[in-house]
Amino acid sequence: MFVYFDVLHIYYIPQYLPVIKKLTKKGHKCVLIFYKSQDAKLISVCNKFIADNRLSAVWLNDTSQAFAFYQKSEVDWIIFGNAFPQSEKLNKKTALMQHGIGPKQCYYDVSNAGMTVRFVEGVHRKNRLQSLYPNGTFIDSGYAKLDPLFDYSVEKISLEKLGLDPNKRTLLYAPTFYPSSIECMSDHFADDFADYNIIIKPHFFTLTKPRYKKQRFKLANWKKHTNVYIADENQFDLTPFIAVADIMLSDASSAIFEFAALDKPVIWCDFYKLRWSYRGIFSFRLKGRLDDDIHYFNEICYPAKHYQDLANMINQSSYESDVFKENRARLIKLLAGKMDGLSAERIANYLEENK
């Protein structure tokens, strides 16, 4: 069997890689499709990843060239991490493995794209998608990105090698790019939590897109402190940092579901720097960007409405009740699906059986 994995953005790879490993082990051919429209720095990051993992890859100019390339190819499946232009017109079998399981409306909107099948996470999401798109095919596979955390194959990170203190508890701050909490965080974040290691895993767009340069100013300031480590463009996979951290801080990001899946506490930074076009009379745009699933954060997280609330919420999270933990586990199963480390295997088996 021959499978293409469409890498519109490099941060799709952690969702793909467990499936690629399963398929390759079974003797199938997997090839990553990258786009030259990414800037030079990203091409360098991609090439390093390809070489380090001994993967096969093809570079195309843009999605228009990709469409023609896919039409002419002799491939059994094309896997996408997001919507693809004119996907309904492709003459190949296509599958959607959404790159995140976050609370943004796009999680549901992208299924209006005519893919052959979509792999989804949990009963709640499958039922909701099926009601929105009754003619679609949805398979509850679980979230393949999390498999390495449950089968213990995740990359091992040494706090000492990051320059951090192994005797301290570790906070993982993993904000999204928009709407983001970064610009609402204090310049004194590192000092305010000096008793902790702080690992900051910015979204890839925060590190690379010109419009988020103010977020990078914040990161540069925090990076000066000895208790802070900031992941760079090459470290685009969040899962190794999830494995080593004790508490997560995040905002409107699927990272919250990912960390909570390990039965570890999450502080929801429910404060954001909004563009003027998302404020006041335009606040409907923010509501349209975020899905109702974000309300589940209130039940699986410790919500902080302001930066000043973080210390209290972190302290509260140290005393989780059994009732809270049980409810969180129930909701995570509902929203992220099976947590058995076998999601990639279920996806690989489906692709084999339906090639």
pLDDT tens per residue, range 17-57: 999 999 999 999 999 999 998 777 788 889 999 999 999 99
2-143+339-353 and 160-336 have identical folds: yes
Over residues 133-147, the mean pLDDT reads 94
Query: Given this model, what pLDDT does residue 105 score?
Result: 63
Contact yes or no for 256/268 (Cβ under 8 A):
yes
Contact yes or no for 336/15 (Cβ under 8 A):
no
Q: How confident is the model at residue 144 (pLDDT cuts 50, 70, 90)?
A: very high
- How do the domains of the chain map onto residue ranges? 2-143+339-353, 160-336
Indicate whether 241 pLDDT > 90. yes
Phi-psi region of 136 (alpha: psi -120 to 50; beta: other; left: phi over 0): beta
Give the whole-angstrom CA distance, residue 263 versus residue 95: 30
Q: How confident is the model at residue 281 (pLDDT cuts 50, 70, 90)?
A: very low
Query: Given this model, what pLDDT does residue 293 score?
Result: 60
- Reported as a single tens digit per residue, the pLDDT across 102-133 is 665 667 777 777 899 999 998 888 998 999 99
Mean pLDDT for the chain overall: 89
Q: How confident is the model at residue 216 (pLDDT cuts 50, 70, 90)?
A: very high
- Which residues on adjacent β-strands are paired with residue 118? 96, 138
**Most confident listed range (56-60, 173-177, 298-302, 336-340):** 56-60
Spell out the CATH class of 2-143+339-353.
Answer: alpha beta
Strands 77-80 and 93-97: parallel
Over residues 145-169, the mean pLDDT reads 95
Indicate whether 290 pLDDT > 80. no
- Which residues on adjacent β-strands are paired with residue 97? 119
Question: CB within 8 A of 44, min separation 6: which ones?
Answer: none
Contact yes or no for 353/23 (Cβ under 8 A):
no
Q: How confident is the model at residue 325 (pLDDT cuts 50, 70, 90)?
A: very high
- Reported as a single tens digit per residue, the pLDDT across 53-75 is 999 999 999 999 999 999 999 99
Give the whole-angstrom CA distance, residue 76 versus residue 60: 19
Query: Given this model, what pLDDT does residue 275 score?
Result: 47
Over residues 304-322, the mean pLDDT reads 94
Spell out the CATH class of 160-336.
Answer: alpha beta
Query: Given this model, what pLDDT does residue 246 score?
Result: 97
Q: Per the confidence metrics, is the pTM higher than 0.85?
A: yes
The more confident residue out of 119 and 213 is 119
Query: Given this model, what pLDDT does residue 278 score?
Result: 46
Indicate whether 224 pLDDT > 80. yes
Give the whole-angstrom CA distance, residue 292 versus residue 137: 23
